[in-house]
Amino acid sequence: MPDYLLPFKSFIATAVKKIQQDSYAVGLAAGGSWASGDMDAYSDLDLVVVTSRKIAPDLHEMQQYAAKFGPMLASFRGDHVGEIRLLIVLYEVSLLHVDIKFLLPDEFHDRIEDPTILWERDQALTTIMEQSTAKYPPFDFQWAEDRFWIWAHYAAVKIGRGEFFEAIDFLAFVRNAVLGPMLHLKNSGLPRGVRRAETMFKTDELMQLRRTVATPDRATLLSSLWEVMYLYESLRDALTPHTFSKNRAAQVAVTRYLSTL
């Protein structure tokens, strides 16, 4: 076993021991890179705690439960990603970053992946996984097209006004919400933003993506915005079905506007 896995294994062993002492506990599972076998020294740990007693979204209850697994340095609820059942924790031992989702058994049916079951009572999690299917949220190409040219115009006017940091943040958002997911799909992956882009995307794709990253000056930002538009158009034309509806009028108008800046 690689040395970097030892802190994770030790933490999981403690978590299993503690959760077994909870009479309301139904099971404990690990998702993410633990389930996929992609763990490295910089990974976090994604745990799913399933109990018959409702814990989330009560922050105090979630923190109290998480504290059973080890001394915590800091924690907060996943409101920022729209998941109030999630607690993000930094543990003192080995500075482990652990995401813990607290679910009731019925909620375990709806999941984006099949996690590795670490412990369960009476085969409860196994039974649920046999009766249901994990579904990762699909990428909606039409959703992106309906918004992309408005977003591109928004970035252009921010550059025109001289709000360079605002424009940088917005281009980063578009990379994560649109370009990254589409590049993952092109490479037969899940549309997970720009996660592991450096190892998942081809060399030429990474070069294209690099050109969308700007510094806070007008010329670089304008160049990056052009690159964002070029990359989006090429991915859209390569990936979308024939039933897809392109907004040609908006694309032409925004392209013309950007040419005036």
Q: Where are the chain's structural domains?
A: 3-131, 141-259
Q: Could you check whether 3-131 and 141-259 share the same CATH topology?
A: no
- Burial (CB count <10 Å: 0-12, 13-18, 19+), residue 76: middle
* Residue with the two structure tokens 């030429």: 204
Task: Give the distance from CA 175 to its chain's centroid.
Answer: 13
Nearest alpha-carbon partner for 213 in 197, 200, 199:
197
For the chain, the 3-state helix, strand and coil shares in percent, each to the nearest 5, are: 55, 15, 30
State the chain's mean pLDDT as an integer.
96
- Bin 73: left if φ > 0, else alpha if -120 < ψ < 50, else beta: alpha
pLDDT for 166-190, tens place per residue?
Answer: 999 999 999 999 999 999 999 999 9
Decide yes or no: CATH 3.40.605.10 for domain 141-259.
no
Q: Which of 34-38, 60-64, 119-123, 147-151 has the lowest mean pLDDT?
A: 34-38
pTM over 0.85: yes
pLDDT exceeds 90 at position 1: no
Q: Are strands 97-103 and 45-51 parallel, antiparallel or unpaired?
A: parallel
User: Residue 105 has what DSSP assignment?
Assistant: G
Percent of the residues in the chain that have a pLDDT greater than 90, as a whole number: 96
Nearest alpha-carbon partner for 44 in 7, 70, 85:
7
- Mean pLDDT throughout 137-164? 97
- Mean pLDDT throughout 227-250? 96
Cis peptide leading into 105, omega within 30 of 0?
A: no
pLDDT exceeds 90 at position 2: no
Tell me how far apart the alpha carbons of residues 6 and 75 are, in angstroms, rounded to a whole number: 23
- Mean pLDDT throughout 22-49? 95
14 strand-pairing partners: none
Residue 242: its pLDDT value, please? 86
CATH class of the 3-131 domain in this structure: alpha beta
pLDDT for 37-82, tens place per residue?
Answer: 889 999 999 999 999 999 999 999 999 999 999 999 999 999 999 9
- Mean pLDDT throughout 111-131? 97
Nearest alpha-carbon partner for 96 in 6, 22, 36:
6
